Structure formats: C-alpha cells, structure tokens
Amino acid sequence: MHFDDGQIPAEYAKHIRRKSLYIIAGLFLTVAVFISSIGMGPVSISAPEVLTTLFGNTISKRFDLIIWNIRLPQALTALAAGAGLSVSGAVMQAILRNPLGSPFTLGISHAAAFGAAVSVMILDFGTMASSNVGAVTINSPYLTTAVAFSFSLIATFAIIGISRLRRATPEVMVLSGVALGALFTAGTMFLQYFADDVQLAAIVFWTFGDVARATWTELGIISAVSLIAYIWFTLNRWNFNAIEAGDETAKGLGVKVERVRLTGMLLASLVTSVIVSFLGIIGFVGLVCPHMVRRMIGDDYRFLLPGSCILGAVLLLTADTAARLMLAPNVLPVSVLTAFLGAPIFIWLIIRGNK
Amino acid sequence: MMNLKVNGLNFNYNGIPVLDGINFCVDKGELLAILGPNGAGKTTLLKCLNAIHKPQHGSVLIGERDVFKLSSDDIAKLLGYVPQRVEPSRLSVFDAVLMGRKPHIKWRVRNHDICIVDAALKRLSLNHLSLRFIDQLSGGELQKVSIARALVQEPEVLLLDEPTSSLDLKNQLEILRTVRSIVKGHNVSAIMTMHDLNTAMRYADKFIFLKNGTIFGCGNAKCVTPEIIQNVYGVEVEVEQRNGCPVIHPVEDLNVIDHNHSHSHNHSHENEAIHNQ
C-alpha cells in the first residue's frame, strides 16, 4: 500500500509547535523557580548573588555555606524527586491504562517505605538518633534501596496481577492500592511498636517525606536512577500511546505489550523505591502532575513525559520552598503540603470520572 | 495474484482446541469475510494471522514471507489490524493515526510519516477533524480513525474485527464501502470477521464459514446457500437475488413463535467464553 499525495498540514505543525512551546516555557519556569527558591529562606539572597555563587565565585563565606551545603542540595533533590515521581505516575497511568495510577495511590510508596524501615531497623543498614535533621542516617544507601525495592516489588506484582483481572476498573485498582498501603503501613507500625523511644522518634520523623535530608550521594543515586528510567520511558513513548489505545491496538502495531508493561512497572517502582528510601513518602505528586499536564497538552506521551517531568520538578520545588517559609521559623516537611494540596485534587479526579 | 496463504493452522487455548486445520488464501484486491456463529473462533483466527495469538501449528505466508518468523515490527508493516474496541484518549486524530507509523518510526517522526498520515486522513475524509481529540468523536468517526491508523502502517493485508458491530446503518455502509474501495484501489487484501450476513454478502468477494474452529465452507457468493447457513448457524433461511446481490432472510413464521413460547434454538455456546478472552 502506498500513499504519496500527502503534505505536512500547517495546522498540525502549529499544534506540535504549541506543545513544544509549553515544554520550553516549563524549562524556563523551572530555572526561575530554582534560582528564587535558593534565594529564599531565613537569609535572603538575591538572584544575581545566587547565580554568582552557583558559577563558583565567592561573594561571602556565609552565602557559599548556605547555598552549597543547604539550599542547593535541597532544591536539586526536590527537582529530581518531583520529576522522578511525576514521570513514574505518568507511566503507570499508561501501562495500567488507569488514570488514577501513581506510586502513592497504588501503595507502592508505602511498600518501599516499609522495606526501607526494615532495612534500617532490623537489618541495621542505618543508624538512628533523635537529632532534628537527619534522624536516620542511612549507612548503606544501596542496600537500603535494594530492600525498599524488593518490598515495592511485592506491591507492584500484586497490582500487575490485579490489573490482569478482567474487571479491574480504575476504582478497583485504587482500592487495591489503599489495601496494600494499609498493609505496609501496618508493617511499619509493627516495627514502631517494638522500637525504643529514640528509634520511634526517628522513624516517625523519617516517614514524613522531606527533601531536606538527602546527601549529595543520595541525590546522585536518585538522579541517576530517574535519568536511566526516563531514557527508557522516552524510548517507549510510542508504545505508551499505543497501550493507552488498548492492548489489541498496541499488539497490532507490533508492541510487545507484556514486556513493556512489566519493564515499565519495574522501572517506575525502582524510581519510587529510591526516592522513598532516602526521602520518605511524598504523596500525590505522581498522580496530580501528569493530570495537570494532560489537561494542558493532552495524552500524547511524546510531550506528556517531558511535561510531567518538568511540572513535577517545579511543583515539588515550589511546594518545598513554601513548606520551608510558611510557618517560619518552623520548617514543614514537604509531604505534609503535597498531601494538603493533592488530596482535594485526587478526590476531584475521582468525582469527575475517568476521562 | 495470491497475497496471503494460511496452511494447516492449529490453535489451542490452555489445551482446549480453538482452531483446527485452517487452510485458505486471499488474493490481492480481494475482500474476505469470516462468518460463523458466536464462539466459532472468528476473532481468534483473525488474531492468529498477525501473531497476536501464537498458533501451535501451521503457517501464514504473505508473498514469500512466513509471518511467524518475522519480528513484531515487520509483522505490523505487513498486516494492519483494526480491533473491535479502541480506548478513546486525549490524543488528536492526527497523532492517533500517526501512531500507525510506529512500526516504521526509528527514533523521530519524519516528514514522510506526516505526509502519509495526511494522505490517509484525506482518503477517509477525516482531515477536517485532524486536531480534534479522539475522545470527542462519534463511534463511526472513531472506527475510521482506527482504519486510518491501520492504513498508514502501509500493510499488504488489512485485518478488521467486526468493523461494523457498533455502528448504525449509514456508518456501516460507509465504512465497508471505504474498506472495499481501498482494497480495490490499492490492490491490497482485507480479511474481516462479520456477524451480519447481508452486509457481508454485499461487500465481500469471498466467504469463509467457521464452525467449532474448523472451516465448514469457503468460496464466493455462490457458495452461500441455504444449506450451508442451516448447517453453520442452525437457522433455516432463504437466499434471494436482489439487484444482483444475494439477500438472506430467515424462514420463520412469527405467528408460530407468538403461540409457542417453548420453542427454542440450541446454539452451541460452549466455546464462547474462551473466544471472548
């Protein structure tokens, strides 16, 4: 079969340009939020001063210390974690063909958190102290991540299994996620019950999702894993589009649906596990960000993936900055704020239906 | 000229035989309708042809190429599949059809791909909808998008699973007319499963009657006789010629039914659950 009388329609070119423009605007917004976030805090630093320091020129020892040791790692962690969680949510929504899919709603975050708690408390891969920042110091980040990932796999396979049942509607899947989340939260509570008071304080503090506690090494691991996953996701962007149109359509287009689904879920769970084991549970970012992007530029994964990445990064950084400043001098963990903002949007998504 | 040839196809689903010893061939420019009662294995057969289901025995040849020995991308370049159901999403019509170029796209979409999509949209008169989201389309329009997607795969054979099952009469006729004109115009083949015998008779060149997973009869319109329909469907019918087109209608006296509620047909439904998987 051959078609040779086609041309590039101007309006389609415009349609693609408009979407690309959103992405580019998002990138600029990220940079702007990034610079102003680093500038904001108990010590206010102006944007030019932030830039000068970031380019390696010393303005004052104090600014160097604040930016390089405190604000920069925190801001970068917020960007990386936001991007990772959001893109994982977008991918889970495609491969489970479920608009309510995300690491948090499917219970995968809770499973990873339980795994990390097991590794720190029982397997002794971390030390605990009731100091304010860094209640839990993870001594073996790789092992902790591995244990968190193993537990997240239990939730992942349960979800994949349930998604294979014929009538696994979005609601059924989310309810399964609630059940899994409750199960693993109970596991974490069990550990808490047998903890001594220092450990208890530490683990409670640690289960709040907070981007302030990541070290440079941990930030490196989060970024590397998210980047690798993102590259694989991008290579599969057409496969995700096809799977969203239905398994049969996808198979007819030569997509190896089972393989893409399994690999995609595993990678998304891995990203979640890494983030959760270092930062704790940060909910709703993976659910809400992809949906906001879908509203703006549609379901096309060629744009949805970079869009979710950028919006996730910007939103988590904004939320984190707000959480730092809102109740100053108290610093809120960002997960409290994402839950306050995300929960109403989640309910709205359920009420509005699946479209 | 022969285009697709099926040799001794056998397919078991969890050890239960679904298709047994299927042989047939389709020429270029020919429209084949697979007919038969619910659960006869029509959809399963269609999915075996492009290896969505992997048959245990037999081969499907397109020209010289053995479909089961090709990569999944190469299969998608030879056979375009239009499933019975498509999930609508927030994708523009143009992008939804562009998805059909997936087997051809290496890394990025080339201008050539976009031109092909444009041509296919014009061919199906969908170009005025090209930037509409597919979750805003009617059933008929969505079905056309699905067909356009299969066309831009530039296949040798189109496979359509009940292309008209959820459409009203006008859309049914329009879709089948379009499929037929593409088959004739581009000299490709189309294989479709169908329920409605009369629309099948009207648009297809060749028919296969499937019963309990085997071919019960095969041939052109002349082979569609009251005997074969009685045997395959268990329904007594008359075949009448009307404007050169055979028309089938059941021989059934409604007055008798109205007075005899206990009368019932004994269709075989035993395989239905399997085929609908």
Chain A residue nearest residue B73, CA to CA: A254
Which residues of chain A neighbour B85 with C-beta distances below 8 Å? 246, 248
Dist. CA A296–CA A291, nearest whole Å: 9
A56: left (phi over 0), alpha (psi -120 to 50) or beta: left
Which residues of chain A neighbour B71 with C-beta distances below 8 Å? 254
Chain A residue nearest residue B80, CA to CA: A252
Q: B90 falls in which pLDDT band (50, 70, 90)?
A: confident
**Tens-of-pLDDT digits for all 355 residues of chain A?**
777 777 888 899 999 999 999 999 999 999 999 999 999 988 889 999 999 999 988 888 889 989 998 899 999 999 999 999 999 999 999 988 888 888 888 999 899 889 888 887 787 766 665 555 555 666 677 787 888 889 988 988 888 888 877 666 777 878 888 899 999 999 988 988 887 777 777 677 777 888 888 889 889 999 999 999 999 999 999 999 999 998 899 999 999 998 998 899 899 989 998 898 888 889 889 999 999 899 889 899 999 999 999 999 999 999 999 999 988 788 888 888 998 888 888 788 777 755 4
B19 strand-pairing partners: B11
Dist. CA B21–CA B37, nearest whole Å: 18
Compare CB distances from B73 to A3, A241, A254 and report the shortest one's residue. Answer: A254
Q: B271 falls in which pLDDT band (50, 70, 90)?
A: very low
CB count within 10 Å of CB A144 equals 26
For chain B, the three-class secondary structure string (H helix, E strand, C coil) is CEEEEEEEEEEEECCEEEEEEEEEEEECCCEEEEECCCCCCHHHHHHHHCCCCCCCEEEEEECCEEHHHCCHHHHHHHEEEECCCCCCCCCEHHHHHHHHHCCCCCCCCCHHHHHHHHHHHHHCCCHHHCCCEHHHCCHHHHHHHHHHHHHHCCCCEEEEECCCCCCCHHHHHHHHHHHHHHHHHHCCEEEEECCCHHHHHHHCCEEEEEECCEEEEEECHHHCCHHHHHHHHCCCEEEEEECCEEEEEECCCHHHHHHCCCCCCCCCCCCHHHHCC
Question: Which tokens go with A102?
Answer: 């995300």
Dist. CA A115–CA A276, nearest whole Å: 10
Question: Is pLDDT at B276 greater than 50 in this prediction?
Answer: no
**Residue A135 confidence (pLDDT):** 58
Compare CB distances from A7 to B52, B85, B118 and report the shortest one's residue. Answer: B118
Any domain includes B144: no
Any domain includes B113: no
Q: What is the ipTM of this complex?
A: 0.86
Any domain includes B134: no
Mean pLDDT of B27-50: 93
The architecture in CATH of the region A72-352 reads Orthogonal Bundle (1.10)
Q: How many residues can be counted in chain B?
A: 277
Q: Which residues of A touch B (CB under 8 A)?
A: 1-9, 11-12, 15, 97, 238-239, 241-242, 244-246, 248-249, 251-256, 294, 298-300, 355
Any domain includes B75: yes
CB A214 within 8 Å of CB A222: yes
**Mutation for A interface: B28, B90, B143, B274, most A CBs within 10 A:** B90
- The domain in which residue B22 lies consists of 2-89+153-275
Q: Is the peptide bond before A329 cis (omega within 30 degrees of 0)?
A: yes
CATH of the domain at B67: 3.40.50.300
The nearest CA of chain A is from the CA of B107 a distance in Å of 8
The nearest CA of chain B is from the CA of A263 a distance in Å of 18
For residue B131, the one-letter residue type is L
Interval B206-254: pLDDT, tens: 999 999 999 998 988 888 888 999 999 988 998 888 877 888 888 877 7
Dist. CA A10–CA A6, nearest whole Å: 12
Q: B275 falls in which pLDDT band (50, 70, 90)?
A: very low
Question: How does the average pLDDT of chain B come out, rounded?
Answer: 88
Dist. CA A92–CA A243, nearest whole Å: 11
From the list B107, B130, B103, B106, the residue with the least C-alpha distance to B117 is B130
Q: Cβ A298–B99 below 8 Å, yes or no?
A: no
For residue B13, the one-letter residue type is Y
For residues B211-227, b (16+ Cβ closer than 10 Å) or e, as one string? bbbebebbeebeebeee
Q: Cβ A3–B87 below 8 Å, yes or no?
A: no
B271 strand-pairing partners: none
Compare CB distances from B116 to A3, A244, A254 and report the shortest one's residue. Answer: A3
Interval B97-119: pLDDT, tens: 999 999 999 888 999 999 999 99
Residue A150 parent element (H or E): helix A141-164
Report the half-sphere exposure of B182 (CA within 13 A, side-chain side): 32
Dist. CA B186–CA B134, nearest whole Å: 27
From the list A260, A226, A345, A243, the residue with the least C-alpha distance to A301 is A243
From the list B32, B34, B25, the residue with the least C-alpha distance to B1 is B25
For chain A, list the strands marked E by DSSP. 126-128, 136-138
Compare CB distances from B114 to A8, A246, A252 and report the shortest one's residue. Answer: A8
Compare CB distances from A251 to B52, B111, B133 and report the shortest one's residue. Answer: B52
Report the half-sphere exposure of B74 (CA within 13 A, side-chain side): 8
Chain A residue nearest residue B46, CA to CA: A252
Question: What is the per-residue DSSP string for A194-217?
Answer: TS-HHHHHHHHHHHB--GGG--HH
- Maximum distance among all alpha carbons in chain A? 76
- Total domains in chain B come to 1
Which residues of chain B neighbour A253 with C-beta distances below 8 Å? 76, 81, 99-100, 102-103, 149, 153
The nearest CA of chain A is from the CA of B44 a distance in Å of 12
The nearest CA of chain A is from the CA of B14 a distance in Å of 17
The nearest CA of chain B is from the CA of A28 a distance in Å of 24
Chain A residue nearest residue B155, CA to CA: A1
The nearest CA of chain A is from the CA of B268 a distance in Å of 24
Mean pLDDT of B189-214: 92
- The residue assigned the tokens 């319109």 is B221
